[in-house]
Amino acid sequence: MATEGKQGLAADVRTLTEAGSETAQDGTRTPQEEELHKARLSAKAKRKLRKSSSRDSGSGRESFSDNAEAAGIKGKMGDKKSRSGKGRGLPKKGGAGGKGVWGTAAEVYDVEQPDIYDPNYDDDKQGETVYQTVVPELDDCEFEKAVTPIIQEYFEHGDTKEVATLLHQLNLGTKKSKLPFLSVTMSLEGKASHRELMSRLLADLTGKRLSVNDVASAFDQLLRDLPDLILDTPEAPQMLGQFVARAMADHVLPAGFLDSYKGKVDCEQARVALDRAAVLLSMKRGVRLDNVWGVGGGLRPVKQLVKEMNLLLKEYLLSTDAAEAELCLQNLEVPHFHHELVYEAVVMVLESTSGDASDLIVKLLKSFWESGFVTLDQMNRGFMRVFDAMPDISLDVPNSYSTLKGFVDHCHQQGVITKALQDQCPKREARRSASEDGSNCVAGAAQ
């Protein structure tokens, strides 16, 4: 049938072409019209060809279905059942498949957790959202820039809780062992009070921000770097030994820290530090070495400070070395208590029987004043305390008023005190001396 349709269509095309050619021979069309006419005829022929092809394909399907029925194959073209005839006759997927089916009977579904990578995921509908701040780990340069100011401020306020709070805000990561190393190195270059504060800080941070292994690793590095540390701090081996002893007594270092170095130390400085630690631990077995650095600053008792200042003045009167006296006073670390030194120095002049003491004390006070080590406030407070105590001092030293007047005038001449302070120097009252003379006469008449 398809062959016959195609043959008829070809005949029609030839007829139309011949008709067009006859018309062209008559000379009634131009060449452009002739080409347009041919194109129309060709398009019309193609449309007829497509229509005939679609009719032929429909007839082919009908013939195929007829042949299929003749061959005994069951079902239609769209049937999804097995055509091999070997199926078990059961529904697919156990009856759980198909459109509109939610699964097999009595099947329980778990709560499906939402996938955050799902394009339809909406975090606003998933309950409360928790945001966490991620702090990146510090590198070597950032670590030193961040930790150094914290340790320097700690040397001023001495609050270990403040340091722990500031360190909690930093992500030290694998650099925790560098914290004790940097802190101890800074304290070696500082004062004895700084080393005492550092020992307390290590004791408070161990177990919270630092582990025993972190501190042990830091001290291992300090022992290896001793040849470099002694260039800035010649006493570094002895100081590091005291640090090790104090840390072991405070249970900051493991008990076998010293034993792990026996017979393994080649560095002479490290051997000195370990020997120093062993000696201190053997002397203070079972006792915390709280005074290994001494008691510095305002932690000293007042009586002890007064005693040390008196000793300082007596040594100065013997040696006349003002620089050594200033160094000793600086090691006491009590700038708020310098007025006591001024008070004791003036009282020593009043009680002295030699004339050299007055000149030496004026020289010492002038040295303190010119260097700025003793401030104007501390100098004035020291002299005012003497002025207020003169009634009691005069009981033991009868000529104290005249001696004080000469000493104050000398200090003013040397620029140690101001004119206002000089004018406040007390004088013995005439009324009081007259009453004292009358009482002496009455006492003599009674005798």
Question: What per-residue confidence (pLDDT) applies to 427?
Answer: 83
* Closest by CA position to 236, among listed 280, 181, 268, 273: 273
DSSP 437: H
Q: What is the SS3 assignment for 210? A: strand
Q: Which long-range contacts (CB under 8 A, 24 or more apart) does 318-326 make?
A: 320/360, 320/363, 322/363, 322/364, 322/367, 323/367, 325/364, 326/367, 326/368, 326/371, 326/373
- Tell me the three state secondary structure of residue 206: strand
What residues have CB less than 8 Å from 253, skipping those under 6 apart? 212, 215, 216, 219, 244, 247
pLDDT by residue, tens only, the chain of 447 residues: 444 444 554 555 455 455 445 444 455 678 888 888 888 888 888 888 877 766 655 555 555 455 545 444 444 555 555 556 565 666 666 667 667 777 676 667 777 777 778 887 776 666 666 777 777 888 888 888 999 999 999 988 888 999 999 998 888 888 888 999 999 999 998 888 888 889 989 999 998 889 999 999 999 999 999 999 999 888 899 999 999 999 998 889 998 899 888 888 888 999 999 998 988 888 755 445 666 776 556 566 788 888 888 888 999 999 889 888 888 888 777 888 899 999 999 999 998 877 788 899 999 999 988 888 889 999 999 999 999 999 999 888 888 899 999 999 999 998 999 999 989 999 876 444 444 454 554 444 444
**What's residue 81's pLDDT?**
58
- Which pLDDT value is given to residue 85? 58
Model confidence, pTM: 0.49
pLDDT of residue 288: 52
Return all residues near 125 (Cβ < 8 A) that are at least 6 apart. none
93: alpha, beta or left? (left if phi > 0; alpha if psi -120 to 50): left
- Whole-number pLDDT of residue 356: 84
Question: What CA–CA distances, in Å, run from 98 to 80, 93, 323?
Answer: 12, 9, 102
For position 218, what pLDDT does the model report?
A: 93
Nearest to 307 by CA among 339, 344, 335, 336: 344
Predicted local confidence at residue 428, as pLDDT: 77
Q: What single string gives the DSSP state of each residue in 102-146? A: --STT--PPPPPPPTTSTT--GGGSS-----PPPPPP-HHHHHHH
pLDDT value at position 241? Answer: 92
